[in-house]
Amino acid sequence: MSKAFISAVCMTKIGRHFKLGTKNLIHEVTACMEEKTGSRPDYLIIASALSALQTHQLDIASIATQYLGWNNTPSIRVETGETSGIAALELAQYIIRSGAASKVLVVGVEKMTEYPSNKVNADYAKILDYDTEYVRNITPPNYAALVMKEYMRKYGATRDDIAEWPVKMHANAVNNPYAQLRFPVSKEAVSNAMVISEPITLLDAFPIGDGAAAVLVTNESARSKDALEIVAIASTTAPPLYLREDITELPATKAAWVTLKRKLETHKLSEVALQVHDSYSIYGILALEALEVSERGKAYSIIPNLEYLNVGGGLKARGHPIGATGLYQVAETYELMINGFAGKQYGGEYALIHSMSGPDYNARLALLRRW
């Protein structure tokens, strides 16, 4: 199988783009990509989790090609809840490795500000099992709250310990021009913020925003001079939260990491550029533990020391336009390793990106290497 590379990236600022619809957001990043690369892709993948529910549009992939005027371009939409972006990247690399195309453009897009937040919250909650969880009025932040409570009880962590996460994420986002929340927060502000599902407050949770990000995946002959190799993408699923022995563990993330870690050779993850999924503060902490960056029950204490952790501010502060998020993670990592990003430049060889949906119902890990 041939190798797959990330050859170029584009992002829009995440926020409330009242004047831009889904197609406009897609066009922003595809126009940027055409300007950067001077050519069009031979395959288009759209990652969008909520497009059918929030904008009433099925088959957004075909509609996007029509809007862009890209006649005769094959296209497909990928949806795997919150990991849709990395799932689309996973599919793109397989298309490249199979030889079916040489340039696959992956666009993540989410339009989340068409409706009041109670409608967005309801649609977002459908990433859980509709019949057994959604209809019982159980939502993703409820589960994150149960997990956070159990973690604090089991390991003796305090509310302020968990607040290390949003403090770090907001500090990072200040330097990210594409981030939605570019302001610092204190631990005190986190614990005093409005309660969503106790002990989770507004400042433990991701904001609602529109966004689009694009990543061009190519084979070796179409590779740009500044490229990252996609070494491997590992993905898997896990049982529902209520059937787990230990709810303070991320089982899909852990299993994906076991299959991927031998490819990292001797590198330590604490020295690797890392992007983890932190829809809620506690999940960022649990991801560090599932990836063995930290021992169980202690990850919150090493957060300030991790220089290349979620440099763009994570889901918490950069923002989380659901289906686009994984591609923001990839785009930020590319910029960090090639051009410098958010006031930092990473000179190392590897980067790892972690994405998961809900309380780890599916997890995807992408290992990238400087070429």
Partner 1 sequence: MNFTVSYYRREGDEEHLPRIVGLVKLDEGIVVPGEIVDIDPSEVKEGIRVEAVLRRYSSDDPYGLIYYGLKFIPILKK
Binding residues for partner 1, per CB under 8 A? 117-119, 121-122, 125, 132-133, 135-139, 141-143, 145-146, 149-150, 194-200, 241-243, 247
Sort strands 5-11 and 228-237 into parallel, antiparallel or unpaired.
antiparallel
- Nearest distance, CB of residue 141 and partner 1, angstroms: 5
Q: Which is nearer to partner 1, 183 or 242 (CB)?
A: 242
Cis before residue 199, ω within 30 degrees of 0? yes
Please state the closest distance from residue 135 (CB atom) to partner 1, in A: 5
The least distance separating partner 1 from the CB of residue 137, rounded to whole angstroms, comes to: 5
Q: What's the rounded Cα separation, in Å, for the pair 203 and 166?
A: 7
End-to-end CA gap in the chain:
17
Residue 296 — φ and ψ, nearest 5°?
-60, 135
C-beta of 46 vs 282, nearer to partner 1: 282
Q: Tell me whether residue 205 or residue 330 sits nearer to partner 1 (CB atom).
A: 205
Shortest distance, position 151 Cβ to partner 1, whole Å:
11
Q: Which residue lies nearer to partner 1 by CB, 133 or 210?
A: 133
Judged by phi (left if over 0) then psi (alpha if -120 to 50, else beta), residue 230 lies in: beta
CA atoms within 13 A on the CB side of 318: 35
Angle at 355 between CA 349 and CA 357, to 5 degrees: 175
- Beta-carbon contacts of residue 18 (< 8 Å; ≥ 6 apart): 113
* Min dist. Cβ of residue 183 to partner 1 (A): 23
Cβ contact 318:342 at 8 Å? no
Residue 74 or 199 with smaller CB distance to partner 1: 199
Whose Cβ is closer to partner 1: residue 100's or residue 195's? 195
Tokens encoding 309: 């952790």
71 vs 137 by CB, closer to partner 1: 137
Which residue's CB is nearer to partner 1, number 146 or number 293? 146
3-state secondary structure of 11: strand
d(CA 290, CA 249): 7
Tell me if residue 111 falls in helix, strand or coil.
coil
C-beta closer to partner 1: residue 49 or 145: 145
Q: How far is the CB of 161 from partner 1 (least distance, A)?
A: 18
Give the Cα separation of 202 and 189 in Å (integer).
10
Residue 312: partners with Cβ closer than 8 Å, 6 or more residues away: 172, 173, 176, 178, 179, 275, 318, 328, 329, 332, 341, 342
**Phi, psi dihedral angles at 57 (to 5 degrees):** -110, 115
Q: Which residues pair with 215 in a beta bridge?
A: 9, 106
